[in-house]
Structure 1
Amino acid sequence: MGPHGARLLAAVLVLGLCALAGAKKPSACQCSRMNPQNRKNCGFPGITSEQCFAAGCCFDSRVPGVPWCFNPLPQQGQEECVMEVSARRDCGYPGISAKECAARKCCFSNIIPEVPWCFFPRPVQDCHY
């Protein structure tokens, strides 16, 4: 078996394990708010949307030259808070607490340093598969 065959077998095994583990389809915001240029491949050539979703990944074949089956954005407490870090608009100040941020009706995530931790939500109406 050549290197391409080994990669394909590994991808199929990973997808099968994800399906067995009960991976669930990501939300529309986790998929549609991902910049196509930032997509990380989550499938294999010829993967169907059903196989991709069964693995807990996003599928969008409308943009050529980028992965069609890709890893979703991280899940957040609210769908309005799911977005790429580059899309965050600051809603607070350095050192703001989660409680103070919530009082402003904004999203809070302090996982990534040097980006706004308190940021404005985005309406979910623009999320779609």
Structure 2
Amino acid sequence: MGPQAARLLAVLLVLGLWAPAGAQKPSPCRCSRISPQKRENCGFPGITSDQCFASGCCFDSNVAGVPWCFRPLPKQVSEECVMEVSARKNCGYPGISPEECASRKCCFSDNIFQVPWCFFPISVEDCHY
């Protein structure tokens, strides 16, 4: 085995150890709703879509100059609630409870300050790989 093959094997072993155990392909909404400029790299040069998805990341090679393998948006209770924070449209008022928000048929997430915690859902029809 030559030095290049040994380096490649070492890289693959490190990546195999780094990949989350039992990682699954993220849902289409968690991948397609993140703007290309906000993608956080999750792979390495030359990574395939299968390798990327196996590590629990998103893959999209349609936009040049940005990471093709990138971290997905956080999971939500409903796919209709998966969106960038900047896409949230207020559906409530400061201090609204999760129950009141749900009664309005809206999404609730209070883990980020200074953004709407109760926000309108988005149709999942536009989600794709």
Common topology (TM > 0.5): yes
Q: Where does 1:31-110 land on structure 2 (aligned, <5 Å)?
A: 31-110=31-110
1 CA distance for matches of 2:94 and 2:126? 29
Residue 25 of structure 1 aligns with an amino acid whose one-letter code is K
1 CA distance for matches of 2:54 and 2:79? 21
1 CA distance for matches of 2:52 and 2:61? 12
Task: Give how far 1:91 is off.
Answer: 0.3
For the residue of structure 1 that corresponds to 2:19, the secondary structure is helix
2 CA distance for matches of 1:51 and 1:64? 19
2:19 matched residue in structure 1: 18
Max Rg structure: 2
1:63-111 deviation digits (Å, cap 9, x = unpaired): 0000000000000000000000000000000000000000000000000
Residue 18 of structure 1 aligns with an amino acid whose one-letter code is A
Runs (4 or more) in structure 1 with deviation over 3 Å come to: 14-17
Q: Is the 8 A contact 1:31 1:58 kept in 2?
A: yes
Gap change, CA 1:93 and 1:56, over 3 Å in 2: same
1 CA distance for matches of 2:53 and 2:17? 12
1:33-89 deviation digits (Å, cap 9, x = unpaired): 001000000000000000000000000000000000000000000000000000000
Task: Give how far 1:31 is off.
Answer: 0.1
Q: Is the 8 A contact 1:16 1:55 kept in 2?
A: no
1:4-26 deviation digits (Å, cap 9, x = unpaired): x7xx83x762444425x100110
1 CA distance for matches of 2:15 and 2:47? 13
Q: Is the 8 A contact 1:106 1:119 kept in 2?
A: yes
Unaligned runs of 5+ residues in structure 1 are none
Length, aligned pairs only: 122
